[in-house]
Amino acid sequence: MSKTIERAFRFFDVDSSGVVRSRNGSLTWPAIGEWVEFAGKVEKCRSGLHASPTVLAALTCRQGSTLGCVEADGIEDRDHEKFACRRMRIVALYSRQHVVGLAALAAALSLKFFESEYPADMRPRKAILACLRWVASKPGSAADAAADASVAAASVADASAYAAAVSAASAASVAAASAASVADASAASAADAAWRSADASADARTEWRDEFNVSAIELLALPASRIGAFVRSKLPIRKGGRRAKA
């Protein structure tokens, strides 16, 4: 059993009154900073308090709609994606803009691999920028409605080449509660098909994963107003051009 308090990530459900609950089970979480303790047998995927060591792993194992940062104590059972422990407290809960920003970040960091194979296909890049316009918009606005539908298309720029990124994109798309339009769905399918034919090496996948986990921590520390600029800074510069503005 680990005796060191570890910082980790997991998803929660938060209702309209602000009550925080676990998706599985009946646990209602107390205020941020207050510890929750589990007295029974701790077993990963069965019992105890669960979280993931990285943002990407949390997205992959998503159980809920709101991403949070937690501190965990008394870890007794773990693998590379998640662990179960005896004590946990919420440190921070992140906005919907942050989760959608993570989807855009996942796509932005993989775009260099896509565009090296398909330099003329601008659809994934445009979908990322549409996603960032949503992040910068006010919920309920016209920009919200238009860009919300592009989250899935933006996310799948990574697609089948990186299975973990697909999980991240899926989590963010669900969190955004978007239903892609016909045009966006077509763009998403095109990007997915392109990635299926791309030959991404194991080294490239590792590079993407490591860069995403580091960059995700930086993104989550930002106010929502700065997420767009941060993700745009991660877009590869096109030959003979500049990074586009959202």
- Mean pLDDT calculated for residue range 126-150: 67
d(CA 231, CA 224) in angstroms, rounded, equals 11
- Mean pLDDT calculated for residue range 21-29: 91
Note whether 96 and 57 are within 8 A (CB).
no
Higher pLDDT, 133 or 196: 133
Q: What is the pLDDT of residue 107?
A: 87
Q: Residues near 158 by Cβ (< 8 Å), separated by ≥ 6?
A: 106, 107, 110, 165, 166, 168, 169, 195, 208
> 4, exposed or middle or buried, with CB in 10 Å at 0-12, 13-18, 19+?
exposed
Please give the helix or strand (H or E) that residue 216 lies within, else none. Answer: helix 202-220
d(CA 230, CA 139) in angstroms, rounded, equals 20
User: Which region, left, alpha or beta, applies to residue 140 given φ > 0 means left and ψ of -120 to 50 means alpha?
Assistant: left
Give the residue from 32, 56, 53 showing the smallest Cα distance to 210.
56
Q: What is the pTM of this model?
A: 0.75
* SS3 call for 127: helix
Number of neighbouring beta carbons within 10 Å of residue 196: 10
Phi, psi torsion values for 163, nearest 5 degrees: -60, -35
Number of neighbouring beta carbons within 10 Å of residue 24: 10
Is the pLDDT score of 173 beyond 60? no
Strands (E), the chain: 6-14, 20-21, 28-29, 36-37, 49-51, 66-78, 83-93
Confidence of residue 177 (pLDDT cuts 50, 70, 90): very low
pLDDT one-digit tens code per residue, 4-21: 899 999 999 999 999 999
pLDDT one-digit tens code per residue, 201-231: 667 778 888 999 999 999 999 999 999 999 9
Q: What is the pLDDT of residue 206?
A: 82
